[in-house]
Chains A and B, each alone.
Chain A
Amino acid sequence: MEKKTGAQIIIESLLVERVEVAFGLPGGQALPIFDAIYGSKLNFILTRHEQAASHMADGYARSTGKPGVCIVTSGPGATNIVTGLGTAYMDSVPMVAITGQVATTVIGQDAFQEADTIGITRPVTKHNFLVKDVNDLAKTIKKAFYIATTGRPGPVLVDVPIDVQRSSCEFVYPQKIEMRSYKLNYEGHSVQIKKAAEIINNSERPVFYIGAGVIVSNAEKEIVEISEKANIPVVNTLLAVGAYPVDSELNLGMLGMHGTAYANKAVQIADVIIAVGARFDDRCTGKVCDFAINAKIIHIDIDPTAISKILGADIPVVGDAKTVLKKMSVLVNKKERKDWVEKVYKWKLEYPLSYNKEDNKIHPQYVIEKVSELTKGEAIITTEVGQHQMWAAQYYKAKRSRCFLSSGGLGTMGFGYPAGIGAKFGNPDKEVIVIAGDGSFQMNMQEMAIAVLNDVNVKVIILNNQYFGNVRQWQEMFYNKRYSNSCLSKRKECPKWCSSPSRNKCPSAYVPDFVKWADSYGVLGIRVTSKKDIEPALIKMLETKGSVVLDILVEIEENVFPMVPAGAALDDMIVRLNG
């Protein structure tokens, strides 16, 4: 049989895995791999920063459910993807990262561009491999894809020294992989499932608390089935926005720190919480010891370490959400729960999400509502991190799963834009809109080159409050309005310390000028400074074929409400300031 080099084996393996697109950036210790890309069938997208490559792979994966792939060089290339790996790891996103490494003969000698990639990425990957023998390469890549995409998904890194890339062997890609030390339990224990169903049947005020695991296992239909049959209201995590029909009466939206009042109220007085593919993150639970104190906890998760990590589960069920819910569905009785459903419905009417709709100011919530309306919730939204992210989660009515992509666990600024580009590669026929903050966007906006050069039509809406808005909000509420290092337009001429910004008073223009900046890439940039221009600008944006940047100058000191302060109980909600 014909021999292939390690580098060729890598690329061929990716093709066997049906990788449609890979993202990355070359360098010395990865040159054989990039040489193997030349002339190959692999669609490789050259980014401007490795971090962006990892987020693009992530956005591709979140939006399609298929593993995202990035390829970078050793040393700085590898360290640059650490944030992307951590982001994917925290949110259980399947990814395979391939890194070049210095030759096996010099590993450990502080060779040029050497970094202990395996050591550095160990805590931010599901698993990682150093391949020291070309004969192990194909098998290792197979394992990497298998581990990344099964069980609780996550990023897997394969570190390939340059001499391994260069040496050759016969290429046989294994069909199947057996690993005695990696076992999965998809089925769920039938006794546990039965117990869970009994508890649900006997409950008066059950609540479904659904997370990303529901999307990963495609269990949306099963949740709808059970919740409708048994009249169980549903709250979702940030990562599960879109997983439950928005227009359902039983949908209570997001719970937690910036969740809806009715979601948090329902959770707090529930007698049973059915957690599915969610991990009781502190942003969801508030003060843990006060979380749903009267509720029995049923926790369905494929990852046994997620169960009883934060809150002891009364009925733990280890298994795949869809498989378990299917079995459970037959055992859960039809039940009206009229009082309960009426009660939560009343709360929905009584405590809706709200902002000032009367005045003529540009409230960012209004922008999101309009985006939601104009796209009918069909667009894929990605977000950066900050206030705009929370408003997007609160006001965007995503029609389905995988339509709302946001860095939840790690909260990575700079995620949204490259993730949007990655999502567009996976969904060329869908509208992709990035809801960005003026701060976060600056962390990876160099990737506009990739959007332009590859004709990737991604829209960016900057909710420009000239601040690290959510830092400012915390400073306003909990640090006495001492706006330390959260203003993005502060110049030398400004007073040293400032706690009363205003667009009229602040000395000079914001940098960068996002419109001019877009223009320099040949991208249409539109600045919006009054409320009446928002809708026309959005329509213009959606009608435009290529990328567009909308720089919307929103209210500077708008705050995200409701808010559960860190460390408070979920029902200790601040609905808004000053009453």
Chain B
Amino acid sequence: MRHTVSVLVENKSGVLARISTLFAARGFNIDSLSVSETESSGVSKMTIVVKGECSILEQVTKQLNKLVDVIKVNDFDNIECVERGLALVKINMTKSSRDEIIKLIGIFKAKIVDMSQDSIITEITGDEDKINAFIKMVIPYGIKETCRTGFAALSRSGHINKNR
């Protein structure tokens, strides 16, 4: 199962290593990761997406909480949240496919950020499903290269607990 864990940490060197070690020690592969500063000084937020068993993840989040540099852990399994990631996709383009591609980009509310005779770079933001769906649609034209960011996630106001 896919899990999103958001971790508030002290903004210090070595913290990422401590956190990734914990996941690695339990055999979790980190699918995506984003780290950024927050509105409070000295505090960073890491948003980590992993796949794995719930029971093991629960243990990992407890251990994360125990790390001396970790301030707070939010496991978004039980909380409704919004998630956004960004992908840059460089797609092969010919004269004949150009209109179709631009149309697709419009449908997905993606943006064109660069264009040349034979390729186009688009920027798409959204949750994982949307980005995956877009990429699936453009595969037939030929993808030259992609680069995706980790996800940013926030709980919805009111912290609606999914289990209740």
Chain A residues within CB distance 8 Å of chain B:
118-119, 122-123, 126-127, 130, 147, 179-182, 303-305, 309
Contacts and interface: CB of A to CB of B under 8 A. Distances in A.
Nearest to B72: A181
Majority SS at the chain A contact face: mixed
Interface residues of B, number: 18
B107 interface: no
B111 interface: no
B72 to A, nearest CB: 8
A181 B21 contact: no
Contact of A304 (B18, B62, B67, B68): B62
A118 B21 CA distance: 13
Given A179-B68, A181-B68, A182-B68, A305 B62 contact: yes
B63 interface: yes
Given A147-B68, A179-B68, A181-B70, A122 B62 contact: no
Given A127-B68, A180-B71, A119 B63 contact: no
A179 B66 CA distance: 13
Contacts of A309: 59
B74 interface: no
B10 interface: yes
Contact of B66 (A118, A123, A305): A305
B68 A122 contact: no
B147 interface: no
B68 A130 contact: no
B9 interface: yes
Given A147-B68, A181-B68, A305 B59 contact: yes
Interface string B1-22: 0000000011001100110010
B15 to A, nearest CB: 10
A309 B65 CA distance: 14
Contacts of B21: 122-123
Contacts of B17: 119, 122
Contacts of A118: 14
B37 to A, nearest CB: 16
B25 interface: yes
Given A122-B21, A303-B66, A309-B59, 12 more contacts: A122-B17, A123-B21, A123-B25, A126-B68, A127-B68, A130-B14, A147-B68, A179-B68, A181-B67, A181-B68, A182-B68, A305-B63
Nearest to B62: A305
A181 B21 CA distance: 19
Nearest to B70: A181
B69 interface: yes
A181 B67 CA distance: 8
Nearest to B60: A305
Contacts of B14: 118, 130
Among B59, B62, B68, B69, residue most surrounded by chain A Cβ atoms (within 10 Å): B68
B4 to A, nearest CB: 21
Nearest to B8: A181
A179 B9 CA distance: 12
A122 B69 CA distance: 13
Contact of A122 (B9, B18, B59): B18
Interface in B15-40: 17-18, 21, 25
